[in-house]
Structure 1
Amino acid sequence: MTYARFAYVYDELMQDAPYDNWLELMEKHKSEVQPSMQSILDLGCGTGTLTVELGKKGFQLIGLDNSADMLVLASEKSRDARVPIQWLEQDMREIELVEKVDTIVCFCDSLNYITSEEDVQAVFQSVSANLKEEGYFIFDVHSLFKMREIFGDHTFASAEDKTSLIWQCFWEEEEYLIEHQLTFFHQTEELLYERFDETHVQKAYEIEDLCTWLSEAGFKIASISADFEYQEPQEKSERIIITAQKREKNVSKG
């Protein structure tokens, strides 16, 4: 999914996103699981809010997104914060790094925008190819419960300082797909409101399928939790968080 004009209202509408929770998750991971972690690739980094905050913690950051508009805004943030970050406009199914990294993350349900099973498997293979041996892949997805029951066939609305949004959801049970039809009214410099529309599509995935594809890509599951509570997912969990470790290659002895 490539964001268009949405990129320029994204931060205003994401003010309540759980950035502090993601940051805490990564600090906890380094402290308890991967103390040697230094280099991080942030997949689907968007406008770079979390990427920059991780950079402020002293990690070596690469931010990757397929939206040039998002990356323009991300680059401005890192420059203003004086945090050195490499920004890459790439498809997460075909990651190309100069050097492998310690950890790869993909937060904010970015993986739900990959709407075919084959493409999710391609992402996992690409992630594995760009991770150091025994490196970690940490990501979250909207749960099937959230997509079906909370988004469902519902309509939402919000009004921020400069942008108002009407958000209609249409759920397709057979394919586990949800179509988000977004109508924005954005205040221009002339104090007029300009309307624009976008359609985004996301897909829900069963946890068991994600684990199978991770295993096929050379990972072992380190943990599965939900909603930043560090407990196993429940029936009504909304955000599933999976941590997987790249398996060490077997070294043949001869």
Structure 2
Amino acid sequence: MSYEKFAYLYDDLMRDVPYEQWVKVIQQQVEKHGIEGKRLLDLACGTGELSICLAKSGYEVTCVDLSDDMLSVAQAKAQESGLQLSFFEQNMAELELMTEFDIIGIFCDSLNYLQTETEIKNTFRHVYHHLEDKGLFIFDVHSVYKMQHLFINQTYAYNGDDISYIWQCFEGEYPLSVEHELTFFVQDESGKYDRYDELHFQRTYPIEQYIEWLENSGFQVNEILYDFKQSFSNDDCERVLFITSK
């Protein structure tokens, strides 16, 4: 999976991502659980859009991502905003920093990019060891419904002024996994369109499986939100958010 060109197109393509919803959830949970510290680790931070929103909300943000291209975009945006953020290029499943945090988050379904159960369990284990006692670990994943009904065997397209894409979703090798075949057409200064192709893999699991892995790692699951809301019915939700404590 490559992020080389995708990193520089991501913000244009994701303008409708509800970053303010994640900030709101974090602030609500921080108040609810009496978290006084402001040290926040944003794992798989991508281009740093949410990291910057969180920094502007008063958090001391450390950013980690596997892609140096994503981090380059995030660093440039932070400098332009006059914000002091720390950046590290690491795999979340092999996280190794010298600091503990009050809040750790994996947002924007980034956890779904891990390909194996072992990687997820390793990620939970590393997060646990980097989290202060009673600290919050918050993450979201694609729902089973979204994988089965909105991704697998679906095709999406977008035609913008400078960027267009065709996004085809195919059932992956593993249960509840999907391969995203993305073809971008990007207009350059001369008006000519360049084509870029990328393949992205995502995989999710039933809610009960995440809970089991979390509890085995030492976490307490405080609350589960469906599409950012409390709900008794989650049959057709698209995003599942886990609010957990160490």
Interval of TM-score (by shorter of Structure 1 and Structure 2) = over 0.9
Q: Is 2:144–2:205's contact at 8 Å kept on the other side of the alignment?
A: yes
Partner amino acid for 1:56? K
TM-score by length of 1: 0.93
Is residue 2:199 matched to residue 1:199?
yes
Q: Which moved more, 1:170-179 or 1:17-26?
A: 170-179
Q: Which moved more, 1:187-196 or 1:11-20?
A: 187-196
Partner amino acid for 1:140? D
Q: Which residue number corresponds to residue 216 of structure 1?
A: 216
Q: Matches of 1:71 and 1:226 in 2, distance apart?
A: 29
Q: Which residue number corresponds to residue 151 of structure 2?
A: 151
Q: Matches of 1:194 and 1:5 in 2, distance apart?
A: 11
Q: Is 2:35–2:135's contact at 8 Å kept on the other side of the alignment?
A: no
Partner amino acid for 1:156? Y
Question: 5 Å matches for 1:122-137?
Answer: 122-137=122-137
Cα offset, 1:4, TM superposition:
2.0
Deviations 1:169-224 (A, max 9, x none): 01248522101000000111222110010000100211111111111111110111
Q: Matches of 2:2 and 2:226 in 1, distance apart?
A: 27
Q: Which moved more, 1:169-178 or 1:198-207?
A: 169-178
Contiguous gaps of at least 5 residues in structure 2: none
- Relative to structure 1, the CA distance from residue 75 to residue 215 in structure 2 (aligned partners, 3 Å threshold; closer, same or farther) is same
Q: Matches of 1:140 and 1:99 in 2, distance apart?
A: 23
Q: Is 1:224–1:232's contact at 8 Å kept on the other side of the alignment?
A: no
Q: Which residue number corresponds to residue 106 of structure 2?
A: 106
Q: Which residue number corresponds to residue 32 of structure 1?
A: 32
Q: Is 1:111–1:120's contact at 8 Å kept on the other side of the alignment?
A: yes
Q: Is 1:157–1:167's contact at 8 Å kept on the other side of the alignment?
A: yes
Is residue 2:81 matched to residue 1:96?
no
Cα offset, 1:134, TM superposition:
1.3
Deviations 1:22-47 (A, max 9, x none): 11111211222234131000011000
Q: Which residue number corresponds to residue 164 of structure 2?
A: 164
- Relative to structure 1, the CA distance from residue 197 to residue 215 in structure 2 (aligned partners, 3 Å threshold; closer, same or farther) is same
Q: Which residue number corresponds to residue 241 of structure 1?
A: 241
Q: Matches of 1:214 and 1:113 in 2, distance apart?
A: 18
TM-score by length of 2: 0.96
Q: Matches of 2:24 and 2:223 in 1, distance apart?
A: 16
- Relative to structure 1, the CA distance from residue 173 to residue 98 in structure 2 (aligned partners, 3 Å threshold; closer, same or farther) is closer
Partner amino acid for 2:201? V
Q: Is 1:227–1:239's contact at 8 Å kept on the other side of the alignment?
A: yes
Q: Matches of 1:53 and 1:13 in 2, distance apart?
A: 18
Q: Which residue number corresponds to residue 141 of structure 1?
A: 141
Q: What's the secondary structure of 1:191's corresponding residue?
A: coil
Cα offset, 1:2, TM superposition:
4.8
Q: Matches of 1:74 and 1:136 in 2, distance apart?
A: 24
Aligned residues between the structures: 246
Partner amino acid for 1:147? M
